[in-house]
Chain A
Amino acid sequence: MEAKKWHREYLERYQRLKEAGLPFFPNTVFKDTLVAFVIFALLAYLAWTKGAVLEEPADPTDNTYNPRPEWYFLFLFQALKLFPGHLEAVAAVVLPGMIVLGFILVPFLDRGPRRHPLTRPLGLGLGVVGLGVYCFLTWKGYSSPLTNPIVEKDPVILAGRRLYRDLKCSYCHKVSGKGGTAGPELDKVAGEETEAWLISHFKNPQQMSPGSTMPVLNLLDDEITSLVAYMKSFGVGSYTPEAPKLFAENCSACHMINKQGGDSGPDLSLIGSARDKNFLKKYVEDPSQMNPSSAMPGFQGQLTDTQIDDIARYLATLGQ
């Protein structure tokens, strides 16, 4: 019953403090009003001088737009970069969930009579560290380019996926094991074809695959681009035996795969679950274009296009 005792003592002491205090009006009201005026002045200044930006109308087919989150969410996007591959998807939900749960639990975990921060080192420590981490991640997120797979799902691929659905391709084709059986399983075969082949195939299936029962879809060029991008996004698992050798010769001095290799660059054992082949290819060609703070040299010119493509295919399978 110790807890009850301090509860009662607190209420009595609070009653005394309250009676010795000043009335809400005009004392507190004065301070509140003053603050309100300052805030309104600041708001009005920002509204008048900066206003609110209105960008171009939303274009769901635009494949170049890369949205940045509001600054107060930047920390989350930065934090997600710490989680590899599929873990990131979980973290995207779990992390905010844990923050909210933490908020809810605060009054139930910290129940003693002590209130001053200096008498609650744990509470103070957690608060300061939490705030510090928040500020640090926000700053990191602000100063680094956005390289977040959830954000950076290529919109062309998304558009392709939408078209795939709208055109009811899954009546005949399987992707991720779902769909019909009349046509081939696309995620097994389509990624291996060249873009040119896929484009021609979408224009006239019978010309590329004689005997195919696939209808001519009369697609617009944009639509074909999207669908090809979607098909190419499956493009994993078709690297040559050459690729791991190329990796060992050119990359493993800095990068580790399954504990083999150097550690001056990131461990790539799970990279395929976070990046698709095209991203990896561009990155290997010229890292600075994807991530200005990268210390990695570009391999465009060092290796042939086919070799880089091969390595990217190989990397894209890791962790899948």
Chain B
Amino acid sequence: MPGVLALLPEYAGLVDPVAELRAACLAALAWLGDGVVVVADAQGARVAVALLAATGHFGAIAPEGQPADASYLVVANGSARRSEKAPGHLDERAFEFDQAVGTALRAPDPAALARVDASLGEELLAGHVAGLHALGELLTSEHHTVSVDYDDDPFGVQYWVMRWTCES
């Protein structure tokens, strides 16, 4: 899921500008098992904690020593430069970047995720590219089931909400 600050309760307005995204995130988070391990930067972790609490998850954020059957929540997103109104204005490279990341997420292609260009991602204001690398390392089993809850760029920022189940 993306680390969208508008998902935080302290930034709530009378109308929710990210209602559809929020619904997708909450549905995916409710699906996670107990003891969720959050992979995020500091802002993304705040969003994750708030939404996990909203779905009844109060499990520890445990980057080290997690059990083998843990659930993981990776907070990251694509470029924020996908339109002239986007936070980072338009950068045409954003589309190819996001296309490649989206394809790697859907496959999933762990090697491609591990190779996402961090420095290009930074230029394109992508959210927490290190999380995408970590996701690549997590998706190590031979078979996965993948479902896509959300894939859109409503503010010129590419968001995905996706679920993966690793089958051993």
Verify that A and B bind, or say they do not. Answer: no
Chain B contacts to A: CB under 8 angstroms? none
Chain A contacts to B: CB under 8 angstroms? none
